[in-house]
Structure 1
Amino acid sequence: MPGSKTRLRHFLPYRLAVTSNAISGMIAGEYRNEFGLKIPEWRVMAVLGDAGPLTQRDLVRATLMDKVAVNRACKVLDERELIRRSPNESDGRSHHLELTPAGVELHGKIWPQAVGAYERIFAALSPRETERLAVLLDKLFARVEALEEGEG
């Protein structure tokens, strides 16, 4: 409605999204120029570095990025020889993706920078507030999952 006052700034889902994007953008700035990775590419590398080999479907679930973004990120990482594909023995239609030695090395260089940026950002909160925020985010995420499964 033209002329009406927006309450968007009070709408928590919007504020969560904007804050998340701001935090991701700041952390991405730490590695984008130096390592030439965009947020989706780093997100895929971070998950593979943490979880080990996964299929693209697993990456979609783990990152909550859409299939196209995951596919694009994997293509770039594969072309840069930062990830490799191996056959998925339990499903011949998919492959496992994992970091190559070069990917592991790059992950090892970026991760400390990401942690450093995280620490600088979260210095605004006390350790207790940070812990409480983590608990609240877990509760919200679990609720979304339950509602999507029709349990709510």
Structure 2
Amino acid sequence: MSVRERNSDKEIEVSLEMEQFFPFQLTQLQARVSDSIADIYTGHFALSKHEWRIVAVLGAGQSLSAKDIGSMINLEKMQTSRAIAKMLDKSLLMKDSHKHDKRSSLLKLSPEGIKIHQELAPMILAREQALMSILSSDEQFKLNEMFKKLMSRADELLQDRLP
């Protein structure tokens, strides 16, 4: 992919090689890693990607609103609502009224949801370890630090574009 720009009387060609473009590389990596993990939660537990993310977030034992869950797992309101409804139908979640906001409720894993989390988490962590095993401890630490820096910078850039 290339783009031509006119700068005064000179024509400048800017080439965008997708295979070298960081956002493209990151998307490709994310898709492959997610697909390898999906084999576990879809095959063994019949969970969707969104349901798995909700189990993972609520697995720490806290109660959260649907809005908070959606925000934490970067999911739109409608997708979050649908996943929660399916999980309530499967008895994987329990709903309690919110003490401070009567319009919303707090969600937590049911005993069945906790059981799934307890079985699923070690399998997911083992898959993560299998992936990360090609990196030394120092490389893993540096990668984590780089991700933190990139997340921080991306947040700054997002703030810059807001009115």
Taking structure 1 as the reference length, the TM-score comes to: 0.90
Question: 1:79 — aligned with what?
Answer: 89
Three-state SS of the structure 2 residue aligned to 1:35 is coil
Shift in Å, 1:90: 1.1
Shift in Å, 1:6: 5.8
**5 Å matches for 1:1-150?**
7-50=17-60, 52-150=62-160
Give a deviation string over 1:36-76, Cα, whole Å, max 9, x none.
01111100110011261111111121111222221121111
1:31–1:113 Cα contact (<8 Å) kept: no
Letter in 2 for 1:84: M
**What is the number of residues matched between the two proteins?**
150
User: Structure 1 CA distance, aligned partners of 2:136 and 2:52?
Assistant: 28
Taking structure 2 as the reference length, the TM-score comes to: 0.84
Three-state SS of the structure 2 residue aligned to 1:98 is strand
Residues 32 and 127 of structure 1: is their aligned pair in 2 closer, same or farther, counting only changes over 3 Å?
Answer: same
**99-108 or 27-36: bigger deviation:** 27-36
Three-state SS of the structure 1 residue aligned to 2:54 is helix
Name the structure where strand makes up a greater proportion of residues.
2
User: Structure 2 CA distance, aligned partners of 1:6 and 1:151?
Assistant: 23
Structure 2, unmatched stretches of 5+, are 3-14
**139-148 or 45-54: bigger deviation:** 139-148
Structure 1, unmatched stretches of 5+, are none
Q: Which gives a bigger RCO, structure 1 or 2 (Cα 8 Å, sep 6+)? A: 1
Name the structure where helix makes up a greater proportion of residues.
1
Give a deviation string over 1:23-42, Cα, whole Å, max 9, x none.
11101102211110111110
**128-137 or 141-150: bigger deviation:** 141-150
Letter in 1 for 2:75: M
Q: Which 4+ stretches in 1 moved above 4 angstroms?
A: none
Query: Which entry has the higher C-alpha Rg, 1 or 2?
Result: 2
* Alignment RMSD: 2.1
Shift in Å, 1:94: 1.0
Three-state SS of the structure 1 residue aligned to 2:64 is coil
